[in-house]
Structure 1
Amino acid sequence: MRINREIAHYAIIIFLITFATRATNNMIGTTTPLLTKYDLLFPNYLVGFLASAVTAVNLVSIVFVNARLPSQTRRLLFIISNALILALLPTYFLANSFSIWIISILTGFAYGLIMPNILTSASIVGDQFTAERLLVLYTLALSTSLVIGPLFETYLLTHFGYRYIFLLFIPLALVSFALSFKAHFPPDPKGPRRNVNVKQILRNKGLISALLANSTYSIPFVVFTAFIAIYAQSIYHVSRYLAYFSFVPFFLTSFLTRLYLTIRVPRGLFKPMIISIALTIIGIILLYLSQNYAAFIVSMTILGIPHGSVYPLSTLMISRGTSIEERNAANSYFAAFQGVLGIAVPALFGISTDLIGIRLSMALLLIPVITIAIIFTRFYLGSGLETFKPEIPSSR
């Protein structure tokens, strides 16, 4: 009973810190492009370059700092990084066309030391069954924050400009900082510290499957984060709060999908992945064809389903394909690969919008999605991961 209470208590901590951290992180990631576009008057290509620069720094902190440090050092930097985010939020309010680059880069570096460690903290408690439940709870907290956060911001935008939004999210950053002291970190191996075998980790079938699976959605998603509200204002000429509201149905269906996955953790991962990929393709096609704001909202609602499913399915692939000792490095490289996409895609998309328009640029996202989906299908079916059966207590 004591163990169950401790796990329940830790599950609450994981949920709250994930919720607060991701809500703040998402607000920064989606509002900074709008601040630079409409307050600082950046052209689309500079909006994309700023997003790419932030992701590049985020990648450096994940790969060259977080993945290589011992557990206690990572814990200390995790706490310091949460404090840094709390300190940086007021500076967005005062930002100009020069300082926004410095502020954003510092933010990207800090989150590279925060997000992978929350994920690792959620995957090391209890047996495999418990760890998988906490992983899905972690992804559920992500989705919950991404519904409530945009709803809150949509309301705020009816009364305040983009700069004030950063100030009004300070309380959530304070929650993240307070709970950062409670996060668990895996112990380092006894004896001399064993260097992570990078080649072995990168050849891991669970990690490769997760990278391919998540790429089918992370490519369009990094575009949506930076440009979807700009897309709504440019194509449908709606107000700033209606443009930002497009995130709400998107993240709502994402939340409902992850809620379902929390209740029913899938044994087989291939079928739900293929359904998710199909919905991604359908959603992008509808997004391109939408002639009015209502149809646009329908397409965003559909696209929220794979957003809710692909990430947790990918984390389960890593969990099932790696040992606990490999988990932090695998999660770090998983996040780092998303970072590589986050460097290239926003910049290329921003250039594309200036050359051929934002609507046609959205349609071109189908090319990488379909290509990667074919590669994933061939690799995963030959990986042997689909035969994995998680340890499930008989009393379930």
Structure 2
Amino acid sequence: MAAVTQLTMVYWPGPESDAMQQVVNYWNNTEGASLGIKVSLLTFSRESFWDKEAAMMKAHSSIADIAYVATYSLGSFVNYLVPFEEPLASEISNSFIPSSVNSMSYNGKIYGVPLDVSIQFLFYRKDLLNKLLTDKAWQETYSELSKKYVGEALLPKPPQDWNWKDYEAMSIFFTNKYNHSSPTEYGNVLQMENLIYNIMIWDDVLWSYGGSWFNKNGQFDINTPSAREAALLYKNLYQLGTTPLDSTSYEFGEANQIFQAGKAFMMIQWNAAYPILTDKQQSPLIWNNVGITHIPGPIPSTHVHTLGVALNKYSLHKEAALKFLSFLTTEKAIQIYAENGGMPPSEVVLEGMADSHPEYPELANDMKNYGFVESTSEYTMGILQELANELTGIWTNQISVENGLQKAQKDVEFLMQQ
């Protein structure tokens, strides 16, 4: 009997590893069995996962052949990984949506197979929007309020056609403080706690205004007109009271709770919220009135990050590992992963699961047409944290927009010089 090559793959514990176990089982019983390559999963506790994997990689350990990577940590791991060559690089590019491939790339080379994706949607109350689009009295009030607070007498329109003036006008109209006929207390709910994941949401606004982290020369440049507009939007919405006063302590869970309680008309939120907000048991007040669409313009944009797997430079079984990684790019593997709870960024698979996951076609569309990746450099996490430190102060009027962005610029420049 031929010897069997044993591969070990590090994987995130929970639903993701449960889904991947099904893929691994299929491989081990089919193609893997014929090739003599068996895969097993290695998981760590969530609390210490990244620290344990980083320690393993830095020790040049060969315990794991396949590493687990995230967009925002890829640059920190890249020295311990092997960039993918052909044909695997093309297999990845052909199987996954381009923005997700970018999220697993560094300096023009692909280092990871993207397997789970996160983006943001604009969530809104369909029932309330439908009334606004058909009720003349509400429309008159909407135009009056938009003229007073936004500077332009706007007409309500479907959310697919919104820009940030429309978003601001909607926020004001559905805030009971300004419109006593509004059934919601707040027009929107912002996630404003000092967290890197909240900056990933704010980045949607920055990119939508035509901005980014880096200028054309590849230099970090955050003190720009686009960044000022994006920072002012959050600041104005908070100062006007269109989002709860304690939004400064909000992240994913708290924002969901406000929306679930029927207290807010809309929010920009992670796609992972959809099955929660549309579940009758978890969200009985709003579950059948939740709409989603892409982030408002002028340039609709959504942050994209993925979790995926990469080849450990110190693996003793690179050739075998590459065969399994190639299998992960096949429609069969992607389908098994998706059917068991994974969220792979494959347009074909996502669109084909619309019946069981109504949000998946929107997910595929937004990734394909509006997705961006801020950076995969080793400084990504640090940049996010420096921006969180200053933007949370700007939004709550503790520091001016100009001074806050200037300080963020200096702090990131210092970070990148280290």
Structure with more of its chain in helix, by fraction: 1
Indicate whether the TM-score tops 0.5.
no
Q: TM bucket by the smaller chain?
A: under 0.3
TM superposition score normalised by structure 1: 0.24
Structure with more of its chain in strand, by fraction: 2
Larger Rg: 2
TM superposition score normalised by structure 2: 0.23
